């Protein structure tokens, strides 16, 4: 399908890596790439107003069809003029299909070739989602980029189980494509295949033959080792079209953004920067700092003296430490402003380095000074978060 007001313009690629800079043209503005999308699952980036998100420089956000379907309901948002108007956001929006949230419900859902029957994590009521409904809901919401319904297997599922999920994802992608009616939304397909290279290749080859306007890489960053995430990303990107945007779903730590860009990714999203902000973890160019630590209780300087965000321009680390000690809501807001500003600034610097031909040296310099979270700790935290999330649902 020809998509008016939608295109991807590749501006520059790196001769010594797969990193690339471009522009994503949408009905709600041009989005420079590579780009990171903050997650606003329920139509809001947690703790921030739309104006605050704009002031940070964010050009596109992600919203979640599953959550918006359950509350306040797709028909409510449609009656209010669509998601842009409902959440007072006049820049670009990407909505996911809700597939990942449903598949993470484990015992609360039943999957067949037709679609998914699931129970709400809110009140236990029963609902169904098919590829056709996923498109119908997202067309009603009116996002600029919408996603095909896919089946997302667990990172440790067997080859046979992952292969079945991949085949179903392919069938659902074709059905999504057939029923799309709106010509002002770009529908992206999602490559699956788990941690099996041959399945990743098979999925990429099949979906690219359908000529979608963009492609996402799903089913990664779900608890597998980071080296596996990067290997599967590299395996998949090699088979995706050069002239179409590539979206790595669910990745948001600074070191992973750099590694993803180096492998040719254009779009990222993750709740990580906002989630850890509410837990007192703030990004700096040296790594994460926990503002709850006593070392910050009398620190007159901002937590990151090199940062020009509202939080660091205005408040001392001691004040943020005090807010978190008292569980004041302002602390969560200020930490979120800082983390999103840090990530947005990082993406801006990455893009600049690609354009001036210094990406590899920028990447090496950043990774030499940035201390990432220990891999074992990261996997443990990820599993705890997934477990607590599933229990709450």
- Cα–Cα distance between 60 and 36 in angstroms, integer? 8
Q: Which of 55, 96, 144, 364 is catalytic?
A: 96
- Cα–Cα distance between 89 and 95 in angstroms, integer? 14
Question: Given the structure tokens 């800082």, which residue do they identify?
Answer: 338
Strand order in the sheet with 60-64: 35-38, 267-270, 246-248, 214-217, 186-191, 145-147, 92-96, 60-64
15 closest CA partner among 305, 360, 379: 360
Residues 6+ apart with CB under 8 A from 9: 22, 23, 25
Cα 76 to Cα 96, 123, 127, 141, 362, distances in angstroms: 18, 19, 17, 10, 46
Pairing of strands 92-96, 126-129: unpaired
- Cα–Cα distance between 228 and 130 in angstroms, integer? 31
| Cα-trace Rg, the chain | 20
DSSP secondary structure string, 29-88?
A: EEEEESEEEEB-TTSS-TT--HHHHHHHT--EEEEEHHHHHHTT-HHHHHHTT-HHHHTT
Render the burial of 342-353: b for 16+ CB within 10 Å, e for the rest: bbbbbbeebbeb
Residues 6+ apart with CB under 8 A from 48: 333, 336, 337, 340
Contact 34, 266 (CB under 8 A): yes
Token pair for 283: 């990004």
Contact 42, 68 (CB under 8 A): yes
Contact 273, 252 (CB under 8 A): yes
Q: Where are the alpha helices (DSSP H) in 87-237?
A: 99-103, 131-141, 159-179, 197-208, 226-237
**Is 304 a residue of the active site?**
no
Q: Which of 144, 256, 266, 269 is catalytic?
A: 269
**Is 96 a residue of the active site?**
yes
Q: What residues are annotated to the active site?
A: 96, 269
């Amino acid at each position: 399908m020809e998509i008016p007001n939608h295109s991807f313009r590749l501006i520059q690629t790196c001769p010594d890596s797969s990193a690339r800079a471009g522009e994503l043209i949408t009905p709600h503005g041009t989005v420079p790439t590579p780009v990171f999308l903050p997650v606003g699952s329920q139509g809001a980036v947690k703790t921030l107003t739309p104006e605050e998100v704009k002031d940070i420089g964010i050009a596109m956000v992600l919203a979640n069809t599953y959550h918006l379907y359950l509350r306040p309901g797709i028909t409510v948002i449609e009656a209010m003029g669509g998601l842009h108007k409902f959440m007072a956001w006049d820049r670009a929006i990407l909505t996911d299909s809700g597939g990942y949230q449903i598949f993470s419900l484990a015992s609360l859902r039943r999957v067949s070739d037709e679609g998914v029957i699931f129970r709400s994590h809110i009140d236990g009521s029963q609902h169904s989602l098919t590829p056709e409904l996923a498109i119908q809901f997202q067309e009603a919401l009116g996002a600029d980029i919408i996603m095909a319904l896919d089946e997302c297997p667990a990172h440790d599922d067997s080859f046979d189980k992952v292969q079945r999920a991949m085949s179903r994802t392919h069938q659902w992608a074709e059905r999504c494509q057939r029923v799309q009616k709106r010509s002002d939304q770009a529908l992206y397909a999602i490559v699956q295949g788990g941690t099996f290279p041959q399945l990743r290749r098979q999925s990429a080859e099949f979906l690219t033959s359908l000529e979608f306007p963009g492609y996402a890489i799903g089913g990664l960053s779900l608890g597998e080792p980071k080296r596996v995430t990067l290997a599967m990303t590299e395996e998949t990107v090699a088979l995706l079209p050069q002239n179409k945007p590539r979206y790595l779903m669910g990745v948001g730590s600074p070191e992973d953004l750099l590694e993803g860009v180096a492998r040719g990714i254009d779009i990222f999203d993750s709740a990580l920067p906002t989630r850890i902000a509410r837990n007192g973890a703030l990004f700096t160019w040296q790594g994460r700092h926990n503002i709850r630590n006593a070392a910050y209780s009398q620190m007159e300087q901002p937590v990151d003296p090199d940062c020009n965000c509202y939080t660091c321009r205005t408040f001392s680390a001691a004040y943020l430490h005090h807010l978190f000690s008292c569980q004041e809501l302002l602390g969560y807001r200020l930490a979120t402003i800082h983390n999103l500003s840090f990530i947005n600034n990082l993406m801006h610097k990455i893009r600049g380095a690609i354009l001036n031909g210094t990406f590899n040296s920028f990447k090496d310099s950043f990774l030499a000074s940035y201390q990432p979270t220990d891999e074992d700790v990261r996997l443990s935290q990820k599993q705890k978060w997934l477990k607590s999330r599933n229990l709450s649902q």
